């Protein structure tokens, strides 16, 4: 079975602080993909990153960075120097290529991030 | 490039009625997936269509159905609406399997 756990339900930080959102996943698939999406108050899910199970390289994109560790089944997301516009609900998601179909995304319950000015 | 569009954005229906939601994918994308988002169950996969064929299905009752047209546009239908069907229905498109999915703004359905 596929499962994604985002233990942090809500996080509040003051602007310019760094914040890390945790994501732990479970899958029996040997080939899988991990994703992060952002859902601002408007409701639309915004794609942030996709990572496949064979690529454990960390990635940095501007103020965003992702740390993928297969050994701990984690795919954590860090925002550096947070801004008010980062306030949103962030979802981690998993798709297993063989067991459940590559386009069937299993989402975590989301972490609501509030950045206080 | 235009994003994923969904119509209508808001709907209010009565229990027992049926509803059809529409989704136009990003140009060139052939895969369309549908998700239901509720406060209690979170985001759940409904089904995926590719080249007019249902390729994958989540754990939803048969009252939920969909189809895809030759231009990749997709519709989902919910028959015999129940109060629990009140949700945000999100459509996502992608080039094919395992590519990133881009989501539309959603249709918020309220069943009274």
Quick check: A102 pLDDT over 90? no
Q: How confident is the model at residue A21 (pLDDT cuts 50, 70, 90)?
A: very high
Neighbours of B2 (CB within 10 A): 8
Q: CB A46 to CB B103 under 8 A?
A: yes
B45: contact with A, CB 8 A cutoff: yes
The pLDDT assigned to B63 comes to 97
The pLDDT assigned to A99 comes to 65
Model confidence pLDDT, tens digit, residues B43-95: 999 999 999 999 989 999 999 999 999 999 999 999 999 999 999 999 999 99
Residues of A in contact with B31 (CB under 8 A): 103
Q: CB B33 to CB A104 under 8 A?
A: yes
> Among A53-62, A99-108, B33-42, which range has the highest average pLDDT?
B33-42
Residues of chain B above pLDDT 70, percent: 99
DSSP string, chain A: --EEE----EEEEETT--EEE--EEE---SSEEEEEEEE-TT---EEEEEEETT----EEETTEEEEEEGGGTEEEEEESS--GGG-EEEEEEEEESTTTTTT-PEE---EEEEEE-
The pLDDT assigned to A103 comes to 80
- DSSP conformation class of B85: G
Among candidates B45, B103, B106 on the partner chain, residue whose Cβ is nearest the Cβ of A104: B45
Among candidates B31, B48, B104 on the partner chain, residue whose Cβ is nearest the Cβ of A44: B104
B97: contact with A, CB 8 A cutoff: yes
Cis, bond preceding A89 (omega within 30 deg of 0): no
Model confidence pLDDT, tens digit, residues A42-89: 889 999 999 989 888 888 889 999 999 999 999 999 999 999 999 999
Q: Are B46 and B64 in contact (CB under 8 A)?
A: yes
A11: contact with B, CB 8 A cutoff: no
Among candidate residues A28, A25, A27, A23, the one with its CA nearest the CA of residue A6: A23
What DSSP element (H or E) covers B19? strand B19-24
Residues of B in contact with A110 (CB under 8 A): 42
Taking the C-alpha atoms of residue A45 and residue A61, their distance in angstroms, rounded to an integer, is: 18
Q: CB A45 to CB B92 under 8 A?
A: yes
Model confidence pLDDT, tens digit, residues A39-55: 999 889 999 999 989 88
Among candidates A43, A107, A109 on the partner chain, residue whose Cβ is nearest the Cβ of B105: A43
Taking the C-alpha atoms of residue B23 and residue A23, their distance in angstroms, rounded to an integer, is: 30
The pLDDT assigned to B112 comes to 97
Q: Which residue of B has its CA nearest to A92?
A: B43
Q: CB B45 to CB A52 under 8 A?
A: no
CA distances, A39 to each of A4, A12, A23, A56, B87 (Å): 17, 16, 16, 25, 15
Residues of A in contact with B97 (CB under 8 A): 97, 101-103
Q: Are B82 and B64 in contact (CB under 8 A)?
A: no
Return all residues near B33 (Cβ < 8 A) that are at least 6 apart.
Answer: A103, A104, A105, B45, B46, B47, B48, B49, B56, B91, B92, B93, B94, B101
Rounded to a whole number of angstroms, the distance between the first and last alpha carbons of chain A is: 41
């Amino acid at each position: 079975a596929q499962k994604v756990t985002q233990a942090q339900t809500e996080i509040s930080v003051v602007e310019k602080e760094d914040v890390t959102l945790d994501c732990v996943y479970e899958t029996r698939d040997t080939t899988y993909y991990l994703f992060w999406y952002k859902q601002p108050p408007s409701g639309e899910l915004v794609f942030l990153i996709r990572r496949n199970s064979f690529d454990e390289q960390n990635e940095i994109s501007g103020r965003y960075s992702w740390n993928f560790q297969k050994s701990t089944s984690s795919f954590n997301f860090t925002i550096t120097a947070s801004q008010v516009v980062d306030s949103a609900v962030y979802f981690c998601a998993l798709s297993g290529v063989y067991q459940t179909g590559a386009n069937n995304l299993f989402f975590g319950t989301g972490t609501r991030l509030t950045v206080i000015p | 490039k235009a994003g994923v569009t969904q119509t209508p954005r808001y709907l209010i229906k009565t229990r027992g009625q049926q509803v059809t939601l529409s989704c136009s994918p990003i140009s060139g994308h052939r895969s369309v997936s549908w998700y239901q988002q509720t406060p209690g169950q979170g985001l759940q996969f409904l089904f995926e269509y590719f080249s007019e064929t249902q390729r994958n299905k989540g754990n939803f009752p048969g009252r939920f159905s969909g189809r895809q047209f030759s231009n990749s546009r997709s519709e989902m239908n919910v028959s015999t609406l129940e109060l629990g069907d009140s949700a945000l229905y999100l459509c996502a498109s992608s080039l094919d399997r395992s590519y990133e999915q881009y989501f539309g703004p959603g249709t918020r359905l309220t069943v009274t």
